[in-house]
């Protein structure tokens, strides 16, 4: 198992160090070998290489680095983001570029309230908040199609095309049905879109969802929510959900809301997945410049990303040892969360490194 490690910016390297600490322990316990290789990528590297902070002037990642990343079993990412760099440069130059070029067409976001973790939802507990969002990760309005004309004049016009393909919708939908089957929960898959307004793109998703579901997954219950209603149900009745499948931008938005109901960005992990290629796992929180270097940031999301990395690599490579190792990490995390004062940075009642140590001890 060869893992590429991109610590990145800000608190990224600190939380990644805790994930790697837990990896060391679980590899020993579950019995598998691995190696890690550090890649120096992110905003700091861009600036030190002479990149312009105001506009993309040099590549954030080079072609030969992407070629090298392709040779790994998985990528473990800390955070990219730099207070001095204009929005869009790192996001497009690194994160989106990797998603697109490595064809990581699934963004997988488990939403699970761990024991002892506080949710802002009144009268809801761990039994109510346990679902997974499957977000399409390479299409929609993220493709960059469109343009701007007459810029800076009163006649300025800009378009940002929502590119939906039947191929892209189908592969996300099939992945979500397979996951629903494997999860063995309520066996219910909810499509989230906006078919009442997006009558072209929404209809492509709707027909693909129902045709595939009916023909290939008759035992899975199909459900549908408009995206605005889904936001309401997340707050009112999160227990309705088992697995959700949705388009790129809707998935982006609802998963931030979902992160809050599972206890915040300190605990939310995600994966950018190409089931037959190289996938990349990351904590959902950013580089948190104001907490950098203080040993106060919560590493749980990064540890959870390591659990996902092992579990999903195990699923995709048909390696039961890795899948089991991922599940062991999650079980250990669930023993530690009740002992923490909070999941918020600086309020955990322990330091970043102590949380990592506690998960290792629980393992």
Count of residues binding ligand IPM (CB under 6 A)?
Answer: 4
When asked if residue 101 is in the footprint of ligand IPM (CB under 6 A), the reply is: no
Closest distance of CB 85 from Mn ion, Å: 18
Closest distance of CB 95 from ligand IPM, Å: 5
When asked if residue 91 is in the footprint of ligand IPM (CB under 6 A), the reply is: yes
Name which position in 252, 286, 334, 353 contacts Mn ion (CB under 5 A). 252
Residue 275: CB atoms within 10 A of its CB come to 17
Closest distance of CB 12 from Mn ion, Å: 16
Candidate ranges 22-30, 204-212, 248-256, 259-267; the one touching Mn ion (CB under 5 A): 248-256
Count of residues binding Mn ion (CB under 5 A)?
Answer: 1
Q: Show the tokens assigned to 357.
A: 């140590």
Burial 138-165 (b: 16+ CB within 10 A, else e): bbbbbbeeeeeeeeeeeeeeeeeebbbe
Check if the beta carbon of residue 12 is closer than 8 Å to that of residue 42: yes
Residue 86: CB atoms within 10 A of its CB come to 12
**Interior angle at CA 312, CA 260 and CA 134, nearest 5:** 45
Pick what 101 binds: Mn ion, ligand IPM, none; C-beta below 5 to 8 Å, kind-dependent.
none
Candidate ranges 23-31, 35-43, 89-97, 340-348; the one touching ligand IPM (CB under 6 A): 89-97
Spatial distance between the Cα atoms of 130 and 247, rounded to a whole number of angstroms: 20
Q: Which CB atom, from 6 or from 96, has the smaller least distance to ligand IPM?
A: 96
Residue number, nearest CB to Mn ion: 252
Q: Which CB atom, from 91 or from 103, has the smaller least distance to ligand IPM?
A: 91
Candidate ranges 88-96, 118-126, 187-195, 232-240; the one touching ligand IPM (CB under 6 A): 88-96
Site string for ligand IPM, 229-268 (x = CB under 6 A): -----------------------x----------------
Name which position in 4, 22, 69, 95 contacts ligand IPM (CB under 6 A). 95
Closest distance of CB 255 from Mn ion, Å: 6
Whole-angstrom distance between the N-terminal and C-terminal Cα of the chain?
A: 20
Spatial distance between the Cα atoms of 51 and 5, rounded to a whole number of angstroms: 22
Pick what 333 binds: ligand IPM, Mn ion, none; C-beta below 5 to 8 Å, kind-dependent.
none
Q: Which CB atom, from 92 or from 124, has the smaller least distance to ligand IPM?
A: 92
- The CA-atom distances, in angstroms, between 359 and each of 23, 256, 334 are 11, 25, 9
- The CA-atom distances, in angstroms, between 344 and each of 129, 263, 268 are 19, 9, 12
Burial 103-126 (b: 16+ CB within 10 A, else e): bbbbbbbbbbbbebbebebeebeb
Q: Which CB atom, from 81 or from 213, has the smaller least distance to ligand IPM?
A: 81
Candidate ranges 25-33, 73-81, 251-259, 342-350; the one touching Mn ion (CB under 5 A): 251-259
- The CA-atom distances, in angstroms, between 327 and each of 26, 224, 304, 339 are 10, 30, 10, 20
Which residues contact ligand IPM by CB under 6 A? 91, 95-96, 252
Which residues contact Mn ion by CB under 5 A? 252
């Amino acid at each position: 198992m060869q893992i590429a490690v991109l610590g990145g910016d800000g608190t990224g390297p600190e939380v990644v160090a805790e994930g790697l600490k837990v990896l060391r322990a679980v590899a020993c316990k579950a019995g598998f070998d691995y190696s890690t290789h550090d890649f120096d990528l992110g905003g700091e590297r861009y600036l030190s290489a002479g990149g312009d902070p105001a506009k993309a002037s040099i590549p954030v990642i080079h072609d030969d680095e992407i070629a090298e990343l392709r040779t790994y079993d998985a990528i473990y990412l800390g955070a990219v983001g730099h207070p001095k760099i204009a929005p869009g440069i790192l996001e497009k130059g690194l994160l989106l570029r990797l998603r697109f070029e490595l064809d990581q067409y699934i963004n997988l976001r488990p939403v699970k309230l761990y024991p002892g973790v506080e949710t802002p939802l009144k009268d809801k507990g761990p039994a109510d908040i346990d679902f997974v969002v499957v977000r399409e990760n390479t299409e929609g309005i993220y493709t960059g199609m469109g343009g701007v004309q007459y810029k800076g004049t009163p006649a300025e016009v800009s378009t940002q095309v929502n590119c939906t393909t039947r191929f892209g919708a189908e592969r996300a939908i099939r992945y979500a049905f397979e996951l629903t089957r494997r999860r063995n929960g309520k066996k219910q898959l909810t499509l989230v879109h906006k078919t009442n307004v997006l009558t072209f793109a929404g209809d492509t998703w709707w027909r693909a969802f129902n045709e595939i579901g009916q023909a290939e997954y008759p035992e899975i219950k199909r459900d549908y929510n408009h995206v605005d209603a889904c936001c309401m149900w997340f707050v009112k009745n999160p227990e309705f959900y088992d697995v959700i499948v949705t388009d790129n931008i809707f998935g982006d938005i609802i998963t931030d809301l979902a992160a809050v109901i599972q206890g915040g960005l300190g605990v939310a992990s995600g994966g950018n997945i190409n089931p037959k290629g190289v996938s990349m796992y990351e904590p959902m929180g950013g580089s948190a410049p104001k907490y950098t270097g203080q040993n106060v940031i919560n590493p749980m999301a990064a540890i959870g990303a390591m659990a996902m990395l092992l579990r999903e690599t195990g699923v995709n490579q048909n390696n039961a040892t890795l899948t089991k190792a991922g599940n062991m990490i999650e079980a250990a995390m669930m023993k530690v969360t009740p002992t923490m004062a909070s999941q918020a940075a600086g309020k955990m009642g322990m330091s970043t490194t102590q949380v990592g140590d506690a998960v290792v001890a629980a393992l």
